[in-house]
Copies of this chain bind each other. A is one copy, B any other.
Amino acid sequence: MMELAEMIKLARGEEEVDLLLKNGRVINVFSGDVHEADIAIADSKIVGFGNYTAKQVIDLDGSYIAPGFIDGHVHIESSMVTVPQFARAVVPRGTTTVIIDPHEIANVLGLDGIRYMLESSKYNPLSVYVMLPSCVPPTHMETAGSELLWYDLTVFANNPWILGLGEMMNYPGVLARDPIVLDKLRAFSGQTIDGHAPGLAGRDLSAYIAVGIRSDHECTRLAEAREKLRQGMWIMIREGSTAHNLAELLPLVTPQNSRHCLFVTDDRHPADLLDEGHINFLIKKAVSLGLPPITAIQMATINTAQYFGLKGTGAIVPGFQADLVIFDDFERFNIQQVYRDGQLVAEHGKLLYVPPEKREVPIRGSVNINWEGIDLRIPAESTRAKVIGLIPNQLVTNCLIEKVRVQDGFAVADTTHDILKIAVVERHLGSGNIGKGFIKGFGLQRGAIASSVAHDCHNIIVVGTNDQDMMTAIREIGIMRGGLVVVDGGQIIGRLPLPIAGLMSDRPIEQVRGTMSQLLEVANHIGCVVEDPFMALSFMALPVIPELKLTDKGLVNTTQFAIVPLFEP
């Protein structure tokens, strides 16, 4: 940190600054205009505009210069790579700050998972702020690896990287005045608390907001976003790998309210990060849809900083962090250079940053299965069962009632009618819990597919045509200490180890993306008709999204918010 007196000397031009960026067109999110200026940088800070003597002078030749982009809400775990690998992907694309909610890893490894994310965020050219996961475990109808109560979260108090309480998904708990939920809200009173309340409206929305929950990234309809904004929420407009809300929500944004709107990705897979991009993709898309460029940059920088109370980032003004993005124009939006803390960290898509040393952050294995208790067989109580009806490209499912095939007293998969077996094997406490059921829509003709990524508790989820292949898949996940796997006739035909909490690879993001492509291909070989069966699978255990889901405790009817019997009388 530069001392005040030193800063004054440098800003006044009494001493040589480190760097002068000349002839740039500054996108000034404070004054809301674009103007030419020479930007002086010293140490990690912007020190002034104007004529300075500098150790290094770079002529930007009329390129645009914007503040480094900020993603207001992202789960890095969903990119299936470590923070350094995530940084490798997003920094050359202009992102210099992210606000993460390590909700996924916290549901697996609790406080140690959060600590791991904080620790592995150090020494990267990316500022990683954390909103503490508010819903570990997410519901009482599933088994997570941890339970974090309000006093658990307070252990991070005074950590400057912690900004508040992460998305309060348990809005029914808020409305029902669940004491566990209210204790968390009280503990973070006065701090930033993010919301997650799809579809909540009217007085229930008022109640949710009145307790201090001030943002939402779950708006999918324009009218919903408008009501939430009017009731005082900051609207996080999301364009992720799963949810695409930008085009629908953009008409919400007006000059009079744009300050309360910001861009987030929530979840973004390796292929999307590498092919489309990150926040730069949202800016480019928004501008192409008609949003004024300055407004788009504000939504990717200062708005997010102001919502989270980040005082020294999100604008190009004296005293702020020198996080800068240089690009050609808003049509092509080629990012030429990225500066973070005054250092050139990426140029023409290439990361230049070399971490100060090879750091391995220790993290324990997370897959802990009661192998002796696994029995995938389903004794047939009747021939009619509830079947999860997969809907292509949607998180919601149907609750179907179907005739199931019975063999030797057990209900089994029926590939002719595309009714496959599905199971969720608890992998945290070694409890032996297994939820079993049926699903329609995957189309497998042979083998099995399994994953240790299954929102939000991330137990092992497996879908298959026969118990042997399903068991092989589960065993392989055990061997890999988490991961994704495709099995055909007893053979492992595709695998992606995710040894970090069963969620993240320890490999480069390009490799993860390549392996993912292979996995999708081999899944096709065994008949899978779903575009991304792993993504689809990962939401089948999520009991907060309608209508029929499966957890390690059994089949959940989300409308009833209760475990229900598999068989119909």
**CA A546 to CA B295, docked complex, whole Å:** 42
For window 278-306 of A, CB contacts with B under 8 Å fall at 292, 294-295, 298, 306
CB-CB under 8 A from A204, the residues of chain B are 12
The answer to the question of A359 belonging to the interface, with a C-beta cut-off of 8 Å to chain B, is: no
Identify which of B11, B232, B256, B320 contacts A315 (C-beta below 8 A).
B232
**CA A52 to CA B51, docked complex, whole Å:** 61
Residue of B nearest to A35 (CB): B230
For window 195-217 of A, CB contacts with B under 8 Å fall at 202-204, 206-207, 209-212
Contact (A257, B32) CB under 8 Å given A211-B4, A211-B8, A318-B231: yes
Cross-chain contact A318 with B207 (CB below 8 angstroms): yes
Cross-chain contact B210 with A7 (CB below 8 angstroms): yes
**CA A230 to CA B226, docked complex, whole Å:** 31
Q: How many subunits of this chain does the assembly comprise?
A: 2
The answer to the question of A229 belonging to the interface, with a C-beta cut-off of 8 Å to chain B, is: yes
What count of chain A residues pass the 8 Å CB interface test? 64
Cross-chain contact A256 with B206 (CB below 8 angstroms): no
Cross-chain contact A8 with B306 (CB below 8 angstroms): no
A204 CB, nearest partner CB in chain B, Å:
6
**CA A198 to CA B40, docked complex, whole Å:** 23
CB-CB under 8 A from A229, the residues of chain B are 30-31
Cross-chain contact A209 with B174 (CB below 8 angstroms): no
Contact (A207, B8) CB under 8 Å given A30-B229, A231-B318: yes
Cross-chain contact A33 with B318 (CB below 8 angstroms): no
The answer to the question of A190 belonging to the interface, with a C-beta cut-off of 8 Å to chain B, is: yes
The answer to the question of A138 belonging to the interface, with a C-beta cut-off of 8 Å to chain B, is: no
Residue of B nearest to A9 (CB): B177
Residue of B nearest to A186 (CB): B4
A47 CB, nearest partner CB in chain B, Å:
6
**CA A314 to CA B48, docked complex, whole Å:** 32
- Interface of A, helix, strand, loop or mixed by DSSP: mixed
The answer to the question of A13 belonging to the interface, with a C-beta cut-off of 8 Å to chain B, is: yes
Identify which of B50, B175, B298 contacts A256 (C-beta below 8 A).
B298
Cross-chain contact A31 with B257 (CB below 8 angstroms): yes
Identify which of B30, B52, B182, B256 contacts A230 (C-beta below 8 A).
B30
The answer to the question of A397 belonging to the interface, with a C-beta cut-off of 8 Å to chain B, is: no
**CA A311 to CA B190, docked complex, whole Å:** 8
A221 CB, nearest partner CB in chain B, Å:
15
Cross-chain contact B211 with A256 (CB below 8 angstroms): no
A259 CB, nearest partner CB in chain B, Å:
5
The answer to the question of A5 belonging to the interface, with a C-beta cut-off of 8 Å to chain B, is: yes
CB-CB under 8 A from A11, the residues of chain B are 203, 206-207, 210
The answer to the question of A421 belonging to the interface, with a C-beta cut-off of 8 Å to chain B, is: no
Identify which of B212, B256, B311 contacts A32 (C-beta below 8 A).
B256
CB-CB under 8 A from A186, the residues of chain B are 4
What are 6 A-B pairs at a CB distance below 8 A? A7-B207, A12-B206, A13-B203, A31-B257, A33-B256, A231-B318
